[in-house]
């Protein structure tokens, strides 16, 4: 598996470069917004990737609460960390896109606000995991993760059921998108998913090693006491 990682890393890097070329050169220029609309090919895939990672975190957290499986707990931590990274990209690229299009960096509409709340919940989750040494920390974190996951549908469906600054959905909900734009969007999402997978893989290996070291230190301390 260790030999496979560099190969996948190279392939992912090539895919990211190809996706960048598709977004900046191949994709047609949007008629109203112009070239600034190309942020769409990073903003939307980042959001979808974050949602998927938070779903993994939810499933892993539920499995941990039911079975107390340490592998599920480690996977929950990793998916939350990488998910926060992509959610941060969403919150950064959104205002950059909004400023020339809407004339403002930020507005407290339902989608932007719920996305910020989602980010804050998972940042709180990571802070809990980082700074709490209680034996109940994984259980409390899993409960917080389940609560945070409830915000994901609100973020996604907010533009369907609420009046927001965001335009109506171009995929689903009666919307439409140029097939060439959709193709580039899917290529970028595939590249982001591959990159997220590599990040999770690398972080999971570090997490398991960290836990093994902690267990060894705890065992050594116990033997010294005896």
pLDDT tens readout for residues 23-46: 999 999 888 888 888 999 999 999
Alpha carbon distance, N-terminus to C-terminus of the chain: 39
- Whether the per-residue pLDDT at 52 is higher than 70: the answer is yes
Residue 157: the pLDDT is 83
The predicted model scores a pTM of 0.91
Residue 87 domain boundaries: 4-27+35-225
Please report, for residues 35, 65, 95, 96, the alpha-carbon distance to residue 104 in angstroms, rounded to integers and kept in the order given: 18, 43, 8, 9
Please report, for residues 10, 164, 172, 184, 219, the alpha-carbon distance to residue 121 in angstroms, rounded to integers and kept in the order given: 34, 22, 28, 31, 34
- Whether the per-residue pLDDT at 189 is higher than 70: the answer is yes
Kindly report, residue by residue over 89-121, the tens digit of the pLDDT: 999 999 998 888 888 888 888 888 999 999 999
135 vs 73, residue with greater confidence: 73
Number of domains into which the chain is organized: 1
Q: Which of 2-6, 141-145, 188-192, 195-199 has the lowest mean pLDDT?
A: 2-6
Residue 173: the pLDDT is 54
Return left, alpha or beta for 177; rule: phi > 0 is left, psi -120 to 50 is alpha, else beta.
Answer: beta
Instruction: Work out the mean pLDDT of the chain and round it to a whole number.
Output: 88
The DSSP bridge partners found for residue 30 are 34
- Whether the per-residue pLDDT at 188 is higher than 90: the answer is yes
% of the chain at pLDDT higher than 70: 90
Residue 110: the pLDDT is 86
Contact between residue 121 and residue 144 where contact means Cβ atoms under 8 Å apart:
yes
């Amino acid at each position: 598996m260790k030999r496979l990682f560099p190969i996948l890393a190279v392939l992912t890097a090539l895919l990211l470069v190809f996706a960048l070329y598709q977004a900046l050169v191949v994709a047609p220029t949007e008629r109203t917004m112009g070239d600034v609309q190309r942020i769409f090919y990073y903003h939307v895939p980042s959001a979808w990737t974050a949602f998927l990672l938070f779903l993994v975190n939810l499933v892993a957290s539920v499995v941990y609460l039911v079975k107390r499986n340490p592998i599920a707990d480690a996977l929950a931590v990793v998916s939350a960390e990488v998910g926060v990274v992509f959610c941060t990209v969403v919150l950064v690229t959104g205002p950059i896109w909004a400023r020339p299009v809407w004339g403002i960096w930020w507005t407290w509409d339902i989608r932007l606000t719920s996305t910020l709340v989602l980010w804050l919940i998972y940042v709180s989750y990571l802070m809990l995991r980082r700074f709490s040494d209680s034996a109940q920390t994984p259980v409390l974190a899993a409960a917080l993760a389940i609560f945070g996951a409830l915000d994901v549908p609100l973020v996604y469906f907010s533009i369907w059921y609420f009046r927001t600054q965001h335009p109506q959905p171009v995929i689903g909900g009666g919307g439409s998108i140029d097939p060439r734009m959709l193709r580039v969007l899917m290529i970028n999402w595939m590249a982001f998913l591959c990159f997220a997978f590599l990040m999770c893989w690398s972080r999971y290996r570090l997490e398991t090693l960290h836990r093994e070291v902690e267990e060894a230190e705890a065992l050594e301390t116990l033997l010294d006491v005896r």
